[in-house]
Amino acid sequence: MATTLQSNTVTLQGSAAIVAEFFEFSVNSILYQRGVYPPENFCRVQKYGLTMLVTDDERLKDYLQGVANQLKELLRKKMIRQLVLVIADVETKETLERWEFKVHVDEEMTEESAPKTKELKTIQQEIAAIIRQIVASVTFLPQLEGQLAFDLLVYTKKDGEVNEELWADSKPMLIEGGQMVKIKSFSTSVHSVDAAVVYR
């Protein structure tokens, strides 16, 4: 995890790396918990003091790694407003769930700024609390049936340039009249992320 030498200081670049890595693990966790891919496509790893499940499907792994690298760059440039993971029914194209991660950033912070102070351990504990809530979500979310697909939507500031091989213009895939459950938030002291899930 890229931070400065001391474990209680966070730079803009270090914060971007922490948040991008959080997204990567969160997406893996949601895809597993919601049954978008079969359980045998996942393996166990230790992260944030938890046993996490991540895909061992090479194509999906490469795609998510590419997304995380692009997100890291956009976060460093303070371009991201929100990241959304959409789960849809393959046949009907109907959006079943929207996992929304709103990103706030200290606009004053630059790469030349003095690092902010926050213990890495505290950040990881806050992230672990969100991951636990994602895992627990299966207790209240409706069971998903049929063949499922997912999309990642990134909302950038208007002048944001993104990698067009990874991202294309898309509809927002909203759920009209959906139920929303807020999930915990975390902060690196440079970026903060508020999470929620909207479902039918």
Q: What is the pLDDT of residues 137-185, one digit of tens each?
A: 989 999 999 999 999 999 988 765 555 544 556 677 889 999 999 999 9
What pLDDT is stored for residue 3 in this prediction?
41
In a domain, 3, yes or no: no
Domain with residue 26: its CATH number is 3.30.900.10
In a domain, 35, yes or no: yes
In a domain, 178, yes or no: yes
Owning domain of residue 51: 9-160+168-199
Q: Domain count for the chain, please give it.
A: 1
In a domain, 1, yes or no: no
* pTM for this model (two decimals): 0.91
In a domain, 194, yes or no: yes
Q: What is the C-alpha to C-alpha distance for residues 61 and 40, in angstroms, rounded to an integer?
A: 14
In a domain, 4, yes or no: no
Kindly write down the DSSP assignment for every residue of 45-61, as one continuous string. Answer: EEETTEEEEEE--HHHH
Question: Of 194, 50, 192, 198, which is closest to residue 135 (Cα–Cα)?
Answer: 50
In a domain, 2, yes or no: no
Would you say residue 69 has pLDDT above 70?
A: yes
Beta strands in the chain (DSSP E): 9-10, 42-47, 50-55, 80-89, 95-105, 116-117, 148-156, 179-187, 191-199
Would you say residue 7 has pLDDT above 80?
A: no
Q: What is the pLDDT of residues 113-126, one digit of tens each?
A: 999 999 999 999 99
What pLDDT is stored for residue 171 in this prediction?
73
In a domain, 61, yes or no: yes
